[in-house]
Structure 1
Amino acid sequence: LKAIEADPNAQFGYIGLAWSYRFDATFGWHEQEHNRDEALKLGAEYADKAILLAPDDAEAHNVRARIHTEAGETEQALARFDQAIELNPSNSNILAGSTDPLLYVGRTDEAIDRIEQAKGIDPFHPDWFHWQMGWALWEKNDCGAALTAMRKMSRIQSGAYRMLAGIHACLGNDREAKEALAVFVENSPGESISKERREWDKIWTAPGSLDRWIEHMRIAGLPE
């Protein structure tokens, strides 16, 4: 807000607030103040303002694409990511982030290509690129390679343990799946099968993927 007060005609403060509300919607940081849909709506408004002020700013398009993704607006997300990549093709984070909607709709090979391209641009890329590759390889049912990708993370973040649980369940490692999910649930209380299905039912449209994921979460011990 101070950035906007200092210069209301610059895009940077609006981009920052858009990211804040996107994270709010994703992680439930301020559930007492507003629900997920309200947070996404506010984030979209700030991102749209940033784009209006600076249509050539790739980061403004990137955060708008992320919000489209969280809202289940997959086609809009893909188009906005393409615009961000066109504006800044050397931004590895945008490239890797653009694979979320690709994976949701089953364009897995394209997603893997983009992740590899992002890793090539930035040899010192963040750990979540490996997490993203783990998801992509799980989608291909290549769960051994998915586990290898996840183990390349220097430190597995608590949120990534859910993906790790799904991969172990895919491999038939029931004990490891339950152990991994226990770490995730400890840091994300209230997670359940019904919540997972409700969150992704309209977003994760790749044929069979959501049902397979739910099956693996049940194996890992996620409550109904």
Structure 2
Amino acid sequence: MSEAPSSQVVTLGDCTLDLGTGLLLRGHEPVQLRAKAFCLLAHLASHSGRVVTKSDLMAAVWGDVFVTEDSLTQAVREIRKALADDDQKLVRTVARRGYMLAPGATAPANDTGKLPTLAVLRFANAGDPADDPLVDGLAEDIINGLTRFRTMVVLGQSSTFTASDAQAAARLGADFAVEGSVRRKAERLDVGVTLSSVPAGGIVWSERYSAEGADIFPVLDDIVEQILNRLARRLEDAGLRQADGKPTGSLAAYELLLRGIGRLRGYLPEDNEAARSFFEAAIEKDPGYGLAHAYLGLTLTILGGYALTPAPVLAEAIAAGAKGVTLAPEEPRCHRLLGIIRLFARQHSGAESHLRRALDLNPHDADTMVQLGYLLTLRGRPLEGLALMDKAERINPIHPDWYDYDRSMALYGIGDYSGAAACLERLTSQSPWRLTRLAACLAQEGKTTEAQQTLDRVQELAPEFSPHDYARHGVAFEHSSDVEHLAEGVLKAMGDA
């Protein structure tokens, strides 16, 4: 059964398809289509942004009447001619799979073109180098606090932490820059913060703070509030929205969390185990620390093998993530992490609900956009996913490697195998799953020799790893057709297709 279209009116270039009235219009003038061609277009519109196989299209349009693929090809040709779709951007052919209607998908997020853009640079550590994770964490918390408001665009941390000064921030597209320094003396923290306009370099605001232990959290709140007061003429919610409570009352727990997050971003095998230990220690210091519970849940799934995590471990991870959301329901990162965990558990609807809640709470967070885009890809909606990923990369242009990994899957989903391979080739990881994905892309491109050589490398690195089993079980697709699509590429690389 066909899914109901999300809207009765679909814009296709300079044409409008009105499914309610059964008309294709250019302006106010009807565009002529024969009945079968219109039926085909309507069916594609009801699955907009998704690949529809040739067999499904033929069954939907011609039913039990026997026709060849020539009839389908002719109807597609007629639709493209009616839409003036000479470059095939609206009705896309997905090689060896079918067709997809792409009516100019856009990210479901606020227009940021008229909002001021802010870069929070890496704070200078004026004390012991061992305190670097704490200093970076303070700056990241300011970023997280600012991105909760819809009155500005805050550039992603992985981009802004590479900028050496306000002028470098200007080259990233920032209108304003936040710079700071931190010195720690035992439990005392001395923090200096400056907000400046760029590239002019004028100082908008500057302040110094001193805090003992957990008193640092009201300082972070004040920094966020001072920046907002100077950049925002008004807030959507008629006042500063604060979370239901600070994440923890323990500076020790906070520092343990930051060290765990730092290790989780590493690529060495021992990094994830170390991260788990830090998160568990943070929870021991403060059992009510919701974000620590959520990060622990994510770490369990990473250690378990992502979508290959055994069911008992997934249940433990979901419980930890859910506890995080219960303890901190207004913390967007808790919702984001639980959404990722539930995706690995193939709870697609629940995962999407939490990721959308995270984006609602933190509407300019690039990481959440990419992860929601990845989830939509695995739900069979790669064009929607790519639109979100494009928006995220504008906010966070110097992004972490995993953005390319997620984008590669969306590009593979729409049949852009060359683009998907390029994303995977940018990654430095030599993991078997990355190489298996790359081999599938190369095989679909027709580069059989390169694909087989890539799988040979997989066998050298991990003799027990099965590329075919990974293709069928290692990615949390919602629909079997997407599983078969990836498996098809791997089988071609193996020489079995």
TM norm structure 1: 0.85
Give the aligned residue type for 1:215: E
Q: Specify the structure having the higher radius of gyration (Cα).
A: 2
1:209 to 482, 486, 496: 482
The RMSD of aligned alpha carbons is 2.4
Aligned equivalent of 1:160: 434
- Matches of 1:161 and 1:143, distance apart in 2: 14
1:22–1:66 CA contact under 8 A, matched in 2: no
- Matches of 1:211 and 1:81, distance apart in 2: 26
Query: How far off its partner does 1:165 sit?
Result: 0.9
User: Closer, same or farther in 2 for the Cα pair 1:55/1:106, shift >3 Å?
Assistant: same
Equivalenced residues, count: 215
User: Closer, same or farther in 2 for the Cα pair 1:155/1:190, shift >3 Å?
Assistant: closer
- Matches of 2:312 and 2:480, distance apart in 1: 29
Give the aligned residue type for 1:66: I
Query: How far off its partner does 1:186 sit?
Result: 4.1
Query: How far off its partner does 1:197 sit?
Result: 2.2
1:69–1:100 CA contact under 8 A, matched in 2: no
Aligned equivalent of 1:218: 491
- Tell me, yes or no, if structure 1 residue 106 matches structure 2 residue 380: yes
2:291–2:333 CA contact under 8 A, matched in 1: no
User: Closer, same or farther in 2 for the Cα pair 1:222/1:40, shift >3 Å?
Assistant: farther
Aligned equivalent of 1:179: 453
- Matches of 2:361 and 2:378, distance apart in 1: 24
2:304 to 12, 20, 25: 25
Structure whose residues are more often helix by fraction: 1
TM norm structure 2: 0.40
- Matches of 1:79 and 1:222, distance apart in 2: 40
User: Closer, same or farther in 2 for the Cα pair 1:219/1:64, shift >3 Å?
Assistant: same
Aligned equivalent of 1:5: 284
Q: What secondary structure is seen at the aligned counterpart in 1 of 2:305?
A: helix
Give the aligned residue type for 2:486: W
Give the aligned residue type for 2:485: R
Give the aligned residue type for 2:482: S
Q: Which runs of 4+ in 1 moved over 6 A?
A: none
Query: How far off its partner does 1:179 sit?
Result: 2.0
Aligned equivalent of 1:42: 316
- Tell me, yes or no, if structure 1 residue 193 matches structure 2 residue 464: no
User: Closer, same or farther in 2 for the Cα pair 1:205/1:8, shift >3 Å?
Assistant: closer
Structure whose residues are more often strand by fraction: 2
Identity of aligned residues (%): 22
Q: What secondary structure is seen at the aligned counterpart in 1 of 2:350?
A: helix
Query: How far off its partner does 1:127 sit?
Result: 1.8
Give the aligned residue type for 2:327: L
Give the aligned residue type for 2:394: G
Structure 2: 5+ residue stretches without partners:
1-279
